[in-house]
Amino acid sequence: MKKLLISCALLMPMLLAGCSHPQPYYPPPPSAYSQVAQEGYHDGWNAGRRDVRRGLNPDVNRHPRFRQPPVGPRFADDYRHGFRDGYQRAFHAGQGY
């Protein structure tokens, strides 16, 4: 009986905590951004974080989604603007600037 109580006492914190994987920090894009620019910001943030992890120098032009945005030609500039901003913020956050 004692072993059961001790086992429960030791396992209870793990059960209550659940599986807590650290969630990546993703700052929201500026609220004035259009929906397309917000999508670009999110994609740029992810691209910047990958480049930081890989130890690459910052260069948005290396990313196909920046060069050829997944939006219509009418919205490409908005997407690129958001992508560039998200990329730069992620890169600077990852480098400790």
Does 82 fall in a domain?
yes
0.75 exceeded by pTM: no
Does 88 fall in a domain?
yes
Domain carrying residue 49: 27-95
Mark the ranges of the chain whose per-residue pLDDT is less than 50: 96-97
- Residue reference for tokens 């209870």: 12
Give tens-digit pLDDT for 60-88: 999 999 999 999 999 999 999 999 999 99
Does 54 fall in a domain?
yes
HSE at residue 86, side-chain half, CA atoms within 13 A, is 30
How many whole angstroms separate alpha carbon 11 and alpha carbon 21?
18
- Please give the pLDDT value at position 93: 81
Does 17 fall in a domain?
no
For the chain, the domain total comes to 1
